Structure 1
Amino acid sequence: MSPTDKNPNSPHRRDGVELIDAVPVRHPGRWVGAAFILLFVALAIQSLVTNKNFHWETVGKYLFDVLVLQSIGWTLLLTVSSMALAIVLAIFLAFMRQSENPLFRYISWAWVWFFRGTPVYTQLVFWGLVSVLYPKIIIGVPFGPEWFSFDTETIITALVAAIVGLGLNESAYLAEIFRAGLKSVDNGQMEAAEALGMRKSKVMWRIILPQAMRVIVPPTGNETIGMLKTTSLVLAIPFTLDLTFVTNTIANRTYLPIPLLIVAAIWYLVITSLLMVGQYYIEKHYGKGVDNVTMAPVKATAVAQAAHAGEPTAGNITARDTTEGGNP
């Protein structure tokens, strides 16, 4: 034993407890990496500020232009409407995929196979040309009399075609996400609820879905953000009021494509950021009791001192103390 350990007044001892003279681990690689990152960020900022080819004055001129702001509204309308349609269809497809009826399972599988296997641009082109295939929508008895008919162009407008095309394509991806979320819940909970006499619909709504939402929400949020950017493909229909088309039109008129691309990118980033904030709070709501569990930090020195002093702490409470309400 060293003289320092025998001396109770040594700085390495406190209240009779030996303290460890710990030396923090050095990480030189972190400082080198941080220096390179800061250098890269400084160079990027310098390039953005000093390069006149970005035409920041043009960006500021069209950032809040009336046509640009109107196109943002149309883009949001396409995103919200398409996702609403996709979510409704995906719920039915997920339930059909887990149905005991083989016909329902096959139809659901075929739906997902087709819409995931063909490009969304091709599907949008098809919906833009649907009036060529079916000039009229006829309602009546098959191979019998017609009751009434409508011109396809008056019903399936460019906006409707864009929403339907995007929604049908997205429903195939969401159906697999919902199916994975439902399968993440243990089957024993369904069996236990049915043993208590609960209806299947009530079990699904009150027990299965709240737990499955913890798995469903994150990828669904990502798909919503992806849908926001996929609306830029509605030119295939053609739908000419979305943000990408409007900024491209202005760029073709001013012969300055780069600043108008920056305008579109800024607004996409703003909307995406707002969607990410909403996704965070939804995930936080459905993750209660699971994702918010944090471990208490363990302070070895304080625990050792309390143990020598005979004081109960979070580090030396036994299982018996916990079951007995914390009483010694």
Structure 2
Amino acid sequence: MSEQTLQRPPISQERDPELARRRVTPRLRPWRWIVSAAALVVLAQFVTGIFTNEHYEWHKFGAFFTRESILDGVVVTLQVVALSALFGLLLGVVVALGRLSTNPLIGGLAWAYVWFFRALPLPLLLIITFNFSYFYPSLGVGIPWGPVFAQVQTSSLTPLAIGVIALGLNEAAYAAEVIRGGILSVEPGQIEAANALGLSRARQLRRIVLPQALRSIVPAYGNQLVGLVKASSLVYYVSLLDLFGAVFVLESRHPESLVPILIVGATWYLILTAALSTVQFYVERYFARGSVHALPPTPVQRLRRLAVDSWGRLVRRAHA
């Protein structure tokens, strides 16, 4: 191919040189701007109505938001959520592996566990756990129908322990299905390739299955943790004064300030959920490495890109 052919301009430029000098402008979408403007107007009216409505009693919000009983309730909620999530995750891994086992007895027991604890309403499970000492005053470890080596009195369990056990047992049933689904999402051909290479089961799980399964497990389990934050409010049934319990007691003592107290409780739950969602975003972003061409931008990167693009548009308009 000659050099003249390589440097030949496109046919459109040969026929219409004026067309080649025109600036390419993006297509106008008026309906998008109209809908965006309408949404901004509605949002502005909603936010203005919230902060200007005197029935919300915002002047009382700050005093109740940092009240000692509320802060103590937040600490108890964080303890319950953290311990229940850890206990539920560890037990859920065991139950999930049992569900995937080829042993019919182990698989059947794991299936029965998931079926039982997913069928029980959480308030009922909390009440049963709270009254567990009535049926079994003590639990021990030893030889069946023989001597007992270690024993614990169930009546000595604190409300925190009872709440963590009940929530953890319930959480493990859902976590087991999330983990099982993530493991099953891995392409079977990769397991076959690992078997052909002679990799052990433990190494297959650690190096091949888990890195890919976690991409499916993390979003679903993050959703479970958000549900656990809200479900932790039910520990009030076992006389544990968490955030919900503190709000309930506070509004019963100050019925004239019911609305701001409820707003305080809702705000704290929104903060906890937002913090958990932020952690989930970065964990998902970490495990997305290698599966996408470019990692999703963080909120800071999005704001920086928006600022740079806006500044670039202003500069281009100024020079136009």
Q: Equivalent residue for 1:168? A: 169
The size of the alignment, in residue pairs, is 283
Quick one: structure 1 residues 258 and 96, their matched pair in 2 at CA, closer, same or farther if it must change by over 3 Å?
same
Amino acid at match of 1:120: L
Q: Does 1:113 align with 2:120?
A: no
Amino acid at match of 2:117: F
Select the structure of larger CA radius of gyration.
Answer: 1
* Unpaired runs of at least 5, structure 2: 1-11, 296-320
Q: Does 1:226 align with 2:227?
A: yes
Q: Equivalent residue for 1:254? A: 254
Q: Equivalent residue for 1:70? A: 72
Distance 2:89 2:104 in 1: 23
Q: CA deviation at 1:76?
A: 0.8
Distance 2:147 2:24 in 1: 91
Q: CA deviation at 1:281?
A: 1.1
Quick one: structure 1 residues 247 and 35, their matched pair in 2 at CA, closer, same or farther if it must change by over 3 Å?
same
Amino acid at match of 1:38: L
Q: Equivalent residue for 2:9? A: none
Q: Equivalent residue for 1:125? A: 127
Quick one: structure 1 residues 147 and 218, their matched pair in 2 at CA, closer, same or farther if it must change by over 3 Å?
closer
- Determine if contact 1:182/1:212 at 8 Å carries over to the other structure: yes
Quick one: structure 1 residues 138 and 179, their matched pair in 2 at CA, closer, same or farther if it must change by over 3 Å?
closer
Distance 1:289 1:192 in 2: 19
Q: Equivalent residue for 1:11? A: 18
Q: Equivalent residue for 1:278? A: 279
Report Cα offsets for 1:260-310 as digits up to 9, x if no partner.
11111111111211111111111111111213448xxxxxxxxxxxxxxxx
Distance 2:262 2:75 in 1: 18
Q: Does 1:188 align with 2:195?
A: no
Amino acid at match of 2:45: L
Q: CA deviation at 1:31?
A: 3.1
Q: Equivalent residue for 2:238? A: 237
- Determine if contact 1:248/1:257 at 8 Å carries over to the other structure: no
| TM norm structure 2 | 0.81
Q: CA deviation at 1:183?
A: 0.8
- Determine if contact 1:128/1:238 at 8 Å carries over to the other structure: no
Amino acid at match of 1:269: L
| TM norm structure 1 | 0.79
Distance 2:253 2:19 in 1: 76
Query: Over aligned residues, Cα RMSD in angstroms?
Result: 2.3
Q: Equivalent residue for 1:100? A: 102
How do 1:145-164 and structure 2 match up within 5 A? Answer: 149-154=151-156, 156-164=157-165
Q: CA deviation at 1:199?
A: 1.3
